[in-house]
Amino acid sequence: MDKFNGRTIYILVAICLLFFSIRCFAAGLPFRETPEEFASGTFNGTELSSCGVILVPNLIKNPGFEDGFNNWEQNNAVLGTGKNGANSARLVATGSGNPQGARTSDFIPVENNSSIKYTVSAWLKCNITTGNYYFRIIYFDSNGTEISHYDLKYFSSSSDWTYFTTTVGGSGSGASVIFPSNCVKIKIDHCWWNSSNNPSGEGWMDDVIFMRGAAFTGSGIFTSRVYDCGEKMTFGRLTWIAETSSGCSIVFNTRSGTTVSDLLAEDWSDTYYTSGKEVVSEPGRYVQYRAVLYSSNSSISPVLKEVKITSPIRGVLASPSFILRAGEKLKLELSFDIDMDPLFNPTVSIVPEFGDTMVIPGAGGSWSGLSFIAGETIVPGFLGNGFATVKTTNGRTANGFELFSSSPGVLIVDNEGFIAPGKITFFPDPFSPNGDGKCDQTKLLFSLDSPTPITVRIYDLKGTLVRTLVENQTYYGSTQISWDGTDYTGKILPVGVYLYQAQIGSRIITGTVVLVK
């Protein structure tokens, strides 16, 4: 069957939306941020681009003329020796005419208002016989018509390399130089001039910068929002994904606290230079990181794309099954992602959505490398029902931090036949395949009392088949079939409600599962 009828879709969607409206996810770890979440942070010398966090860019391309006069109108300029690199724009005045030198070839759009100002700077040098050497900004209206120019810096006598910087902006911005009211774009150039039209000398321009905000310093800081884990947590590792060209780098610091005010009063941690290092901040309910971006060149920037602070526990393995029922045996294995102190056996608590909590003392367990195997126990009848969280306390990390960890929804307590033979359900539902380590996959759970062939297909709301999870495969006992939210090509499907059809032997069961961001 390749299509569902309209009435079936309507009923299934209505049921699913009702379920979705009353179910939510806990915070917990990992704490993961991508460009969408970066927007909640604080930027100092950095800004958010579509790719991630970058240093505030120099709006002038090829500012040091290392690529010749690419992105510049050459006019009468030639390449000269640079202040900080191989090249500069050299303009010779021969005593006949007022020559114009290199000018930016592209218009640079500007925001002409009271809240934005720009920094313009350059290294300048001149040998003057007659006349004056100028470094200028040229104003243009929305039609690209030149309005006027302003002499940002001029020399009437010879000067060795001099660094010049000033600010420009709209009226009320506090800038030193104010745009004309109808200016919407600018260009930068240098020239020679005197009233007799006969200047003579040489002028050099190098490392020209025009950027929003403060002057380029080679570094900038991005500070994340304060993240609430929901309860006190021990942190695992700090990982990040970034693009760093030659001359660029990113380093990190973290801090934590039991309250927000405690966190803000804390000093930043020692620096993390490489991704994947263990977090050195103490356990706390709240955590924050900052990234310091560096570049040796104003025309390039590192790009911070993703940051993650993980849980100290990589995974929880339950045997003989992740489905717990009263009277059955249970053994849990906790796989840690950081070094632990084997002299301290953690206490494991199983906390269901409904009913009482089950506690497994650490004394009956043992360590095997980075794994802790809790002592085998019998599932009690008072445990309740529903999805269960595994909480871990009383252990110690190798760094001496007390262990506080929570792995939500990794077990199901089924004392009321929630997953009875022949019955199936997706868990978790909704799920969010966004790579943050929380509910990235959903599992179709079922139990069969005899070997049975299974086929499971996923459809969109138009009734179009988007994925076949299994085709005529035989299963027996408590089983799970995973779906990572992708279609046949491996691409993550759009957010929304999806329909599943499971053929179990001769029976066909249909339902819905929700994919969220």
Residue 27 is predicted with a pLDDT of: 55
Quote the distance between the C-alpha of residue 237 and its chain's center: 16
CA distance 100 to 92: 9
Show the low-confidence residues of the chain (pLDDT under 70).
1-27, 415-423, 478
Q: Which CATH class is domain 72-212?
A: mainly beta
Query: What is the distance between the alpha carbons of residues 274 and 272, in angstroms, rounded to a whole number?
Result: 6
Percent helix, strand, coil in the chain (nearest 5)? 5, 55, 40
Sign of CA dihedral 58, 63, 68, 70: positive
CA 512 remoteness from chain centre: 30
**Domain spanning 1-23+430-517 has what CATH number?**
2.60.40.4070
| pLDDT, tens digit, 9 for 90 and up, residues 334-351 | 999 999 999 999 999 999
For every residue of 90-139, DSSP letters joined together read: EEEEESSS--EEEEESS-EE---SSS-EEEEEEEEEEEEEESEEEEEEEE
Q: State residue 410's pLDDT score.
A: 76
Residue range 197-256, pLDDT digits in tens: 999 999 999 999 999 987 778 899 999 999 999 999 999 999 999 999 999 999 999 999
Write the DSSP assignment of 345-391 as a string of letters: PPEEEEEEEES--EEE-GGG-EEETTEEEPPPEE--GGG-EEEEEEE
Task: Check whether the bond before 428 is cis (ω within 30° of 0).
Answer: yes
**Residues 118 and 168: beta-carbon distance below 8 Å:** yes
Residue 50 CB contacts under 8 Å (≥ 6 apart), including other chains: 35
pLDDT for position 466? 93
Which CATH number is 31-56+218-309 given?
A: 2.60.120
Which stretches does DSSP call E strand in 213-368? 219-223, 227-233, 237-243, 248-257, 277-278, 284-295, 303-309, 313-319, 323-324, 329-336, 347-354, 358-360, 366-368
408-436: pLDDT as tens digits: 877 888 766 555 555 678 888 888 898 77
Q: Do domains 31-56+218-309 and 72-212 have the same CATH topology?
A: yes
Q: Where are the domains of the chain?
A: 1-23+430-517, 31-56+218-309, 72-212, 312-416
Task: HSE, CB side, 13 Å, CA atoms: give it for residue 275.
Answer: 14
* Amino acid 418: pLDDT: 53
Structure pTM?
A: 0.71
Three-state secondary structure call for residue 35: helix
Tell me, what's the pLDDT at 21? Answer: 31
Of residues 333, 332, 335, 344, the one with CA closest to residue 399: 344
Topology at the third CATH level for domain 312-416? Immunoglobulin-like (2.60.40)
